[in-house]
Amino acid sequence: MLRSMYSGISGMKNFQTKLDVIGNNIANVNTYGFKKGRVIFKDLISQNVSGASAPTGNRGGVNPKQVGLGSQMASIDTMHESGSLQTTGRVLDLAIAGDGYFIVGDAAGQDQSYTRAGNFYLDNNGNLVNGDGLFVLGQSTTPAAAFPSKINVPSTATEMSISKNGTVTYINAGALVTAGQIMNAKFANTGGLQKTGNNLFKITTNSGAPVRGFANTPGFGSIESSQLEMSNVDLSEEFTEMIVAQRGFQANTRIITTSDEILQELVNLKR
């Protein structure tokens, strides 16, 4: 069978994957803290028709002759560049301006996840949680506890505020009380983080262990209250990439069609 037919099949499969990633990016264009993906291709192994030869005293060198056998997917990257910040006017809406991720998890802090989506809430017990009920972890001062601990704001509190370094304060009975400080994390290789859904990331063997610290310190960004980080998806870029992927898919289907016509001519040689 013709090699070009199988090359066309590999190209179609790759562009299908590219369209899947583009579709997911567009679907999450308004998802807070979403990080877009991109697909990278690379060529498959090439078949050597003849190898290279070195020049001699009587004849010059000859370059190798190779026929490529199609393409394959090199990687699907997650682009962790920051999205634009949107002002909401809600104190518990937090955005990180710079590096870092919020740390959320269970009460014991054993199952930790990381997110850039800072739409947080207070539950019935006054604990700071995300939309799925995971606790926002940090260092509590009421009572004093080391990381990881929950941040608790009692129902009697008034005029709550969150500073740029993540310190949560409120007024209670006329006195200023510090509830605790939200802790952030960053990684040696953010591209190695694994998406687990619900705007959450998990560490992997290639992301490196989390380096924890507080916002507004060297190496970490600042926490902006009353703002949320938007998705970093650029619709104009995604639609352009969609057109490129569509045309690439069509071109590969044409390769298969042309190869089939050639095979049909061969079959019809004997009539």
Domain identity same for 214 and 243 = no
In what helix (H) or strand (E) does residue 34 lie, and over which residues does it extend?
none
Domain identity same for 215 and 245 = no
224 within some domain: yes
pLDDT value, residue 208? 92
| Residue owning tokens 């009380």 | 177
Domain identity same for 97 and 205 = yes
Domain identity same for 117 and 22 = no
Domain identity same for 192 and 245 = no
3 state SS for 40-107: EEEECCEEEEECCECCCCCCCCECCEEEECCEEEEEEEECCCCCCEEECCCCCEEEEECCCEEEEECC
Tell me how far the alpha carbon of residue 151 is from its chain's centroid. Answer: 27
52 within some domain: no
pLDDT value, residue 200? 96
105 within some domain: yes
pLDDT tens string, the chain, 271 residues long: the values are: 678 888 999 999 999 999 999 999 999 999 999 999 999 999 988 888 998 999 998 899 999 998 989 999 999 999 999 999 999 999 999 999 999 999 999 988 788 999 999 999 999 999 999 999 999 999 999 888 888 999 999 988 888 999 999 999 999 988 999 999 999 999 999 999 999 999 999 999 999 999 999 999 999 999 999 999 999 999 999 999 999 999 999 999 999 999 888 888 888 887 6
- Interatomic CA distance for residues 114 and 127, integer angstroms: 18
CB neighbourhood size of 269 (10 A)? 6
Domain identity same for 207 and 95 = yes
Domain identity same for 211 and 245 = no
pLDDT value, residue 265? 87
Domain identity same for 225 and 237 = no
DSSP secondary structure of 167-225: EEEEEETTEEEEEEEEEEEE-S-GGG-EEEETTEEE--TTT---EEEETTSTTS-EEEE
pTM of the model: 0.88
DSSP SS3 for 36? coil
- Interatomic CA distance for residues 114 and 233, integer angstroms: 19
- Interatomic CA distance for residues 11 and 253, integer angstroms: 9
Q: Which residues contact 131 (CB under 8 A, 6 or more apart)?
A: 119, 121, 198
Question: What is the distance between the terminal CA atoms of the chain, rounded to a whole angstrom?
Answer: 21
Number of domains in the chain: 2
**Residue range of the domain that includes 99:** 85-229
- Interatomic CA distance for residues 26 and 238, integer angstroms: 7
153 within some domain: yes
CB neighbourhood size of 148 (10 A)? 22
Domain identity same for 91 and 220 = yes
Helix/strand/coil percent split, the chain, to 5: 25, 40, 40
pLDDT value, residue 3? 85
Tell me how far the alpha carbon of residue 215 is from its chain's centroid. Answer: 21
58 within some domain: no
Exposed e or buried b per residue across 7-25, where buried means at least 16 C-beta atoms within 10 angstroms of its C-beta:
bbebbbbbbeebbebbeeb
Cβ-count burial of 56 within 10 angstroms (0-12 exposed, 13-18 middle, 19+ buried)? exposed
56 within some domain: no
